[in-house]
Structure 1
Amino acid sequence: MQRRRVGDSGLQVSRIGLGTMTWGEDTDVESAGEQLIAFVEEGGTLVETANVYGDGKAQEILGAHLADGLVDRDSLVLAGRGGPPPGPLGENAARGALLAGLDATLRRLGTDHLDLWQLPGWDDRVPLEERLSAVQVAVLSGRVRYAGLVAPAGWQLATTVERARHLGNIVLPVSAQAEYSLLHRTAELELLPATRHHGVGMIAWAPLGRGVLTGKYTDGTPADSRAASAVLAPYVEARRNERSARIVQSVLTAADGLGTSPLAVALAWVRDRPGVASAVVGARDAAQLTASMATESITLPAEIRAALDDVSEPAR
């Protein structure tokens, strides 16, 4: 699998990443291990996790597999995100809370550092300088190699970068993680222009439109799908509407013409958008993940890309 630099930084990641959101919920320990092995065998490196996934279960499962030597820790780029729940040290972006949450993540993963620490969006209750100081402490102490932001608005990313430069902070955000797919192109309105201007790489989550772009919901809701899961159904339903149906039909038509799967078309579209460093996919099992990894050899023809751009054009 090809690797890409994250923005202008020296960090390199596989252009398809492995998400762990369902681990500990719809994906059990054994299936998670099979996914991890399949991912690494295909050359994948970026593994994304968060302390809110399964209330920490996802990180515990990943940490257990790393401790067992299922894959080599040094072969992975571990990207952890999110702050801890409200507590005595403050909420979300408070320095004490951020660092406590980071330490808890490291304990669950059984590692001494994160390769990429992605902080939650914006918090008006906490001075930005305090948040930046937490990142600097984390990097200078060796607990973090690079830092990024989760779902910032374009102006929030720009403000963070410029404030860090003004303070002489050597730790600038290298990534912005946000939802991005043919069904959800909001990032193009403000965030992606900001990332390109400031040399920050986009890490796209839900590139398959929360599974809707695979075409699995065109004739109903399969019993083994995320939309049939009590935990994930609301997450999927947010992307099922009339506009989505038109886009999905275009993806199905493109897949038929190319002799490939709708999944491959949708994922390749996101993966190769300007500014995207990696597209993170989740999977129920190793077979499903392998199908996503198989898109590595697929590049969409310009005319098909243009047609998909047109049908999915967001409101400006």
Structure 2
Amino acid sequence: MEQRHLGHTGLRVSRIGLGTLTWGRDTDEHDAADQLKAFWEAGGTLVDTADVYGAGEAEYVLGRLIDGLVPRQELVIATKAGGVPDPDRRVDGSRGHLLAALDASLERLGTDYVDLWQVHAFDSQTPLEETLQTMDLAVSSGRVRYAGVSDFCGWQLAKAATWQLAAPGLRTRLASTQMEYSLLQRGVEREVLPAALDLGVGLLPSSPLGRGVLTGKYRASTPPDSRAASEQWGPFVEPYLDDAASRVVDAVATAADGLASTPLEVALAWVRDRPGVVAPIVGARNAQQLTAALSVETLSLPDEICQALDDVSAPVHRYPDQDWSTL
């Protein structure tokens, strides 16, 4: 699998990442092992997790598989900290919480460092400087190699990345930002992606298949074993089952037919090759689903197909994004 630099850093990662959101919860250790082995054998290196995935179980499962199945040094392990299971405060970016969370993640993962440590979301109750200085401390201690953020809007990302570049002293440049991005969710193109491109921050798209809808599985009906049919995941998928989404899915299916490919491959290839994107993060229920996604490595979409998909999925951007001279 092709390797790409993560932002303006020396860290190289596979251009498809393996997500572990369901590990230890919906995906047991046996299925997780099959996925990790298939991913590694295909040349994949970037494995994305978080301390809140399965209340820590995802990290624990990944830790059990490291070395016993795949050599630690051949993986780029990315985890996140800052999310808290408190309805009154969903995010905690304070120094105390982040450093304690990092130590707990390292223990569950069974490693003395993570390659990429990401702040899970912006914490409006903690000074941003404190959160960023904590990332610097984690890197200088050797427990973290590179740092990034997740779910920061455009101004938050720009402020954080600029602070790290401009503040005096030895600061850790932001390597990445993780945000949802697909043909069904192009909101990052408004401000986040321009900021990332300008500041040399690599984008790691989550839900690159539109929460599974872009695979075409929901075109005729809702499969009983699908996420949309489950009580837990149904509300997560439902926003992408409207008429506007259906038109995009139909266009993806038409493109796939013309390319003798699958809707999954077309949708994933589109987001993988967008400007600023480093590695879409793909989650799967089993190794068979993951292998289907990894087959996209050989597919490059023709320019006319990309343009057609751009047009049918184009978000509405007006003021202040619209050229002032046309107003």
TM-score, reference length from structure 2: 0.93
Would you say the 8 A contact 1:84–1:98 is kept in 2?
no
Moved more, 246-255 or 155-164: 155-164
Aligned to 2:177: 176
Change (3 A) 1:146 1:223: same
Aligned to 1:17: 17
Moved more, 156-165 or 249-258: 156-165
**For 1:49-85, what per-residue CA distance to the aligned partner results, in whole angstroms no more than 9, with x for missing partners?**
0111111111111111115x11111110000013152
Change (3 A) 1:86 1:208: closer
Deviation at 1:209, TM superposition (A): 0.3
Task: Give the 3-state SS of the residue equivalent to 1:219 in structure 2.
Answer: coil
Task: Give the 3-state SS of the residue equivalent to 1:152 in structure 2.
Answer: coil
Aligned to 2:220: 219
Would you say the 8 A contact 1:84–1:97 is kept in 2?
no
Task: Give the 3-state SS of the residue equivalent to 1:283 in structure 2.
Answer: coil
Deviation at 1:228, TM superposition (A): 2.3
CA distance in structure 1 between the partners assigned to 2:121 and 2:154 by the alignment: 11
**How do 1:107-256 and structure 2 match up within 5 A?**
107-164=107-164, 165-256=166-257
CA distance in structure 2 between the partners assigned to 1:239 and 1:53 by the alignment: 23
**For 1:165-210, what per-residue CA distance to the aligned partner results, in whole angstroms no more than 9, with x for missing partners?**
2233420211010000000000000000000100110001100001
CA distance in structure 1 between the partners assigned to 2:284 and 2:188 by the alignment: 23
Deviation at 1:86, TM superposition (A): 6.9
Would you say the 8 A contact 2:177–2:203 is kept in 1?
yes
Aligned to 2:7: 7
CA distance in structure 2 between the partners assigned to 1:180 and 1:245 by the alignment: 17
Kindly indicate whether residue 308 of structure 2 is the aligned counterpart of residue 307 of structure 1: yes
CA distance in structure 2 between the partners assigned to 1:298 and 1:18 by the alignment: 18
Would you say the 8 A contact 2:91–2:121 is kept in 1?
no
Alignment coverage as a number of residue pairs? 313
Deviation at 1:91, TM superposition (A): 5.8
Aligned to 2:277: 276
Task: Give the 3-state SS of the residue equivalent to 1:183 in structure 2.
Answer: coil
Moved more, 9-18 or 226-235: 226-235
CA distance in structure 2 between the partners assigned to 1:53 and 1:190 by the alignment: 28
Would you say the 8 A contact 1:92–1:120 is kept in 2?
no
Write the letter of the residue equivalent to 1:99.
Answer: L
Aligned to 1:26: 26
Task: Give the 3-state SS of the residue equivalent to 2:49 in structure 1.
Answer: strand
Deviation at 1:220, TM superposition (A): 1.2
Write the letter of the residue equivalent to 1:105.
Answer: S
Aligned to 1:82: 81
Deviation at 1:15, TM superposition (A): 0.3
Task: Give the 3-state SS of the residue equivalent to 2:48 in structure 1.
Answer: strand
Deviation at 1:106, TM superposition (A): 0.8
Task: Give the 3-state SS of the residue equivalent to 1:171 in structure 2.
Answer: coil
Change (3 A) 1:283 1:191: same
Deviation at 1:157, TM superposition (A): 1.2
Aligned to 2:260: 259
RMSD, aligned α-carbons: 1.4
Runs of 4+ with deviation above 3 angstroms: none
Task: Give the 3-state SS of the residue equivalent to 2:240 in structure 1.
Answer: coil
Task: Give the 3-state SS of the residue equivalent to 2:158 in structure 1.
Answer: helix
Aligned to 1:293: 294
Would you say the 8 A contact 2:92–2:98 is kept in 1?
yes
CA distance in structure 2 between the partners assigned to 1:169 and 1:182 by the alignment: 39
Would you say the 8 A contact 1:50–1:56 is kept in 2?
yes
Write the letter of the residue equivalent to 1:184.
Answer: Q
TM-score, reference length from structure 1: 0.96
Aligned to 2:95: 95
Would you say the 8 A contact 2:83–2:121 is kept in 1?
no
CA distance in structure 2 between the partners assigned to 1:169 and 1:224 by the alignment: 51
Task: Give the 3-state SS of the residue equivalent to 1:115 in structure 2.
Answer: strand
Moved more, 242-251 or 161-170: 161-170
**For 1:15-45, what per-residue CA distance to the aligned partner results, in whole angstroms no more than 9, with x for missing partners?**
0000001112221110000000000000000
CA distance in structure 1 between the partners assigned to 2:239 and 2:20 by the alignment: 20
Task: Give the 3-state SS of the residue equivalent to 2:98 in structure 1.
Answer: helix
Write the letter of the residue equivalent to 2:53.
Answer: Y
Would you say the 8 A contact 1:86–1:92 is kept in 2?
no
**For 1:262-293, what per-residue CA distance to the aligned partner results, in whole angstroms no more than 9, with x for missing partners?**
00000000000000010110001001000000
Change (3 A) 1:44 1:91: closer
Aligned to 1:55: 55
Same amino acid, percent of matched pairs: 54
